[in-house]
Structure 1
Amino acid sequence: MAMADTGASTPPSVAQRRILAPLALAQFICSFAGSNMNVMINDISEDLDTTVQGVQVAITIFLLVMAALMIPGGKLTDRYGRKRCFLAGLTVYGIGALLSAVSPGLGVLILGNSILEGVGTALLIPPVYILTTLLFDDMTSRARAFGVIMALGGIGAAAGPLIGGLITSWISWRAAFVFQALIIVLIIVLSRHIEDPLPPDPTRPFDTVGAVLSATGLVLIVMGILAADNNLWLMTGLLVLGALTLLWFFRFVRARESAGKEPLLSTSLFRNRTSNLGLITQNIQWLLLMGSSFTVAAYLQVVRGYDAIATGVIFTAATLGLLATSLAAERLARRRPQRTLIIAGFAVAIAGVVVLIAMVNSFSSPWAFAPGLLLLGLGLGLMLTPSVNIVQSSFPQDRQGEISGLSRSVSNLGSSLGTAVAGTILVAGFTTRSYAAAMVTLAVLGVIGLIAAALLPGIPVGARGPVGSQARNDG
């Protein structure tokens, strides 16, 4: 991938600072929604007369709906405009949050939280990354903007258990969804400052068949993993069917391209080696974050018997770690190559998972989990921003709708896989041994992410990507 035009970044304009507030808050609330239910497992299961597995399914479906619909959501921004999709997503999300708050049973909770909030997120998140990429045209200033957004996203995911635990203990788990709806109203108010930098194109075609195939394939894969603890044959069948559906999707996309029609996702996006490796690191980063969050939270509540607030307080360590390194993204981007930051992030995060495994049998206090969570937060905060920056900066303006949707889909697929894989291993026995097995699995996957990061090409500090120049998009 060609890079050109190095130089110092200019300070953000007033308009840029105003637009960052609603975009960062949007990422915060969507990440918060993916993790805050982890500390409500016992409360929700008792109130709605369901099981821990039922709550796990609700969490996983939310993350999965986001992953399955993020690519179509990214494409819709080209046709209807980024701000319009952003506001539509916020509205759908808010309705889902209110429905979840009054849900009488697991089915309505899944409809409100898993389906409507998932659909809303898939509509509103791609515009967050497209608008940020278009407004900041060099690697360092873009790192500053993504640093703020990813910091709020990481904090939302890491602080979700703490905030959710406080609200659940002081009021009710239902109030946590009211909290989400109030934040959505605030974001809509702040969004009046947003101006779409590119005009929508209502004539832009939309690949409905491709959208259905891609979403179906991803759903089947994750549902197959969820079925692992119940029926091995069902798991195998769903995984094979999911893989075949995704193969059908890619063949359909290639045929559509050959016929001169615009596909849901251009195959040329996968010819960029830097972007491909960056997407792998994104997937595994969120897999580590959400997988560890669910595993530790569920273990502390179900096995150790801690309540929502005690469980949430422990996750303060991860939140502090994420906050420290995410907010330093701009300064780090000026001093170190993106590849170096991602490698270091994976190394620290893996060390955190190892500590979480080692400490589980050493001390009875829940604070024994704090050092591992702190390391995990530090490592994830260190690499979330550069991974996004590398991927988004690999493509020019006219490809931002596609790559943003793909990037967010891959990240949310990682979140759903983390909860599905680690959660399935944990709930199979709910013992210290099953906890350790789940965390070891996450550590192994973290090593795969580290290898992908090591294979990334070196990009000069402060370099501009194709978004900020007319650089060629190499395969």
Structure 2
Amino acid sequence: MNRWVALIVLSLAQLMVVLDSTIVNIALPSAQHDLRFSIDDRQWIVTGYALAFGSLLLLGGRLSDFFGRRRMFLAGVTGFAIASAIGGAAGDFALLLIARVAQGAFGALLAPAALSLVSVTFADDARERGRAFGIFGAVSGAGGALGLLLGGVLTQHLSWRWCLYVNIIIAAVAFFGALAVLRDGAQPRRVRFDLAGTVTAVLGLVGIVYGLGNAETHGWQSIGVLGPVVAGVVLIAVFVLIQRRVSHPLLPLGVILDRVRGTAYLSVGISGTGMFAVFLFLTYYLQDTLGFTPIQAGAAFLPMIGLVMAGAVFSGSVLLPRTGPRPLVPIGCVLAAIGMAMLTGIGATSSYVSAVLPALLVTGVGFGLIFGPVQNAATSGVEPDEAGVASAMVNTAQQIGGSVGTAVFSSLATTFAGATLASYHVVFWTAAGVFAATAVLAALLFRNGPLQPAATYLELA
């Protein structure tokens, strides 16, 4: 029973991190008016979080392997709560930006620790592991849409500051729950830290995320985009060379070169670009074209959220232990592609019930078949002292995919200035293509059969 209580605690922490990727977006216009900062500054509230979170994930995962998952989980939850309190109380742009960067940094500690704790806690029973990853994957998949709804409610009825303060409540429950339920099992290994790998990985990821973040405002051919992205790619290449030579690498290459895990990372990274289209551009359409309020726009995603959660739990607990990820992830991606294609039919006077809702339902089923199986596969068969960095790779792939999606889809949309509906149609067709490509890759690369069991060492209080 304790392991299921632990899953609730870990899922709450994951929800907090995922919520923060969208809940603050809803609050930004109000925060900008209140603190009187510019539109250019507003972008940095989002970019600052993404830079810190995306660039520090591998380091956060490895710290969990070196110093203990529970210890890093508690540190991440505590730091995230403090940063949220500072951001909620911020009286100027600078302090709000510092708080957002700190949230990203502590989120990079928290997210891989939480996922690796799920992996090692549910390692001995394929059916229970599948159910656990189904629940955890459902939280990951639905959290972004929940953030839109919760952000609208809090901003409209309380204040934009509560979009940050709400994290304190969630963090408190997760912190005391972890103290009560989790304890470290076998002591993690103490090895020499890979400083060169850490520096090149962090700087490389910063360059890629920062450069892609500039694409919408600077244009793809600007030095502000190409310079950081190229430098980031070169540094990542150097990072890989370092990992091949050092005795205790930050990212053991066996973690990603395994066929199943490598395909899982590839799947979550590519599909992550397409998921961006659902939450951002459909929100724009609902509010700007159909005239929905922020709360109504958030509520419009609730049917999809329900199917994501139901599909993730069912596929994880019933289907995945029997079939493995090979049939599930491609089918999920095909359904997501169909849902995106259905959204290309939206018009200026379309009905939500007839034009939007059916596409959301199909997409929700598809996402439910993707999230749980992919997260499970990404941590399957990994050694206990590498579970943290394997989990970090899931979040890193998703973060990079989301950054690519933000840059590509926003750029596509700006090419249709004055023709908003046309831009939405192009974005959704492109997203459909992305999901279709992911389906082909997953079908070709995943192995047949159930997943290899993961090793475990965690004990529960």
- What TM-score do you get using the length of structure 2 for normalisation? 0.89
The letter for the 2-side match of 1:236 is L
1:70–1:409 CA contact under 8 A, matched in 2? yes
1:248 maps onto 2:234 in alignment: no
Question: Helix, strand or coil: the match of 1:265?
Answer: coil
- Per the alignment, residue 68 of structure 1 pairs with 55
For the aligned residue pairs, the C-alpha RMSD in angstroms reads 2.5
Alpha carbons of 1:354 and 1:178: their partners in 2 closer, same or farther (altered >3 Å)?
same
Q: Aligned residue for 1:37?
A: 24
Aligned to 1:77: 64
Q: CA deviation at 1:342?
A: 0.5
Aligned to 2:430: 441
Shift of 1:226: 2.5
Partners of 2:60 and 2:354 lie apart in 1 by 41
- Cα deviation per residue 1:96-128 (whole Å; 9 max; x = unaligned)? 211221233443333212x11111111112122
Return the letter of the residue paired with 1:444: G
> 2 CA distance for matches of 1:40 and 1:185?
22
- Aligned mates of 1:304, 1:106 — CA distance in 2: 32
Q: Which of 89, 96, 116 in structure 2 is aligned with 1:130?
A: 116
Contact 1:70 1:123 in 2 (8 A): yes
- CA gap of 1:267–1:280, structure 2 versus 1, over 3 A, is same
Q: How big is the shift at 1:334?
A: 4.2
* Equivalent in 320, 327, 338 of residue 333 of structure 1: 320
Amino acid at match of 1:407: V
Q: Is the 8 A contact 1:143 1:330 kept in 2?
A: yes
The one-letter code of the counterpart of 2:329 is I
User: Structure 2 matches for 1:31-430, cutoff 5 A?
Assistant: 31-50=18-37, 54-113=41-100, 115-136=101-122, 137-192=124-179, 193-201=181-189, 203-229=190-216, 230-231=218-219, 232-234=221-223, 235-256=225-246, 261-302=247-288, 306-328=292-314, 329-361=316-348, 363=350, 368-426=355-413, 429=417
How far apart are residue 365 of structure 1 and its match? 5.3
Distance in structure 1 (CA, Å) of the matches to 2:130 and 2:185:
19
Partners of 2:370 and 2:81 lie apart in 1 by 30
Per-residue CA deviation, residues 161-202 of structure 1 (Å, 9 max, x unaligned), is 11111111111221121111111111111112111233134x
Q: Which amino acid aligns with 1:194?
A: L
Cα distance change of structure 1 residues 186 and 54 upon mapping to structure 2, 3 Å threshold: same
Identity %: 27
Give structure 2 stretches of 5+ with no counterpart: none
Q: CA deviation at 1:56?
A: 4.5
Q: Is the 8 A contact 2:260 2:447 kept in 1?
A: no
Please report how far the alpha carbon of residue 412 of structure 1 lies from its aligned counterpart in structure 2 after TM superposition: 2.4
Residue 433 of structure 1 aligns with an amino acid whose one-letter code is A
Name the CA shift for 1:422/1:98 in 2 (closer, same or farther; >3 Å): farther
User: d(CA) in 2 for partners of 1:323 and 1:118?
Assistant: 26
Structure 1 residue 57: Cα displacement: 4.3
Which residue identity does 2:228 align to in structure 1? L
CA, structure 1 residues 160+48, in 2 after alignment: closer, same or farther (shift >3 Å)?
same
The structural deviation recorded for 1:392 is: 0.8
Per-residue deviation, residues 318-377 of structure 1 (Å, max 9, x unmatched):
212212212222123245432111111101111111122222456165974333233222
Q: Counterpart of 1:198 in 2: which secondary structure?
A: coil
Show CA shifts across 1:275-333 (max 9, x none): 21111111133333334212222344456554321221222232122122122221232
1:252-274 alpha-carbon deviations (Å, 9 max, x no partner): 22232xxxx31211223332122
Provide the secondary structure at the position in 1 that maps to 2:280: helix
User: Residues 317 and 371 of structure 1 are in contact (CA less than 8 Å); yes or no, is this contact kept in structure 2?
Assistant: no
Paired letter, 1:96: A
Distance 1:124 1:468, change over 3 A: closer
Distance 2:91 2:75 in 1: 26
The reply on whether 1:460 has 2:446 as its aligned counterpart is: no
Matched residues, number: 449
Moved more, 404-413 or 49-58: 49-58
Distance 2:52 2:423 in 1: 27
**TM-aligned CA deviation for residue 396 of structure 1:** 2.7
Gaps of 5+ in 1: 1-13, 470-475
One-letter code of the match for 1:82? R
Matches of 2:438 and 2:38, distance apart in 1: 33
Once the two structures are superposed, what CA deviation does each residue of 1:131-160 show, in whole Å capped at 9, x if it has no partner?
222222243221111112112222222211
CA distance in 1 between partners of 2:200 and 2:102 (Å): 20
1:93 CA drift (Å): 0.5
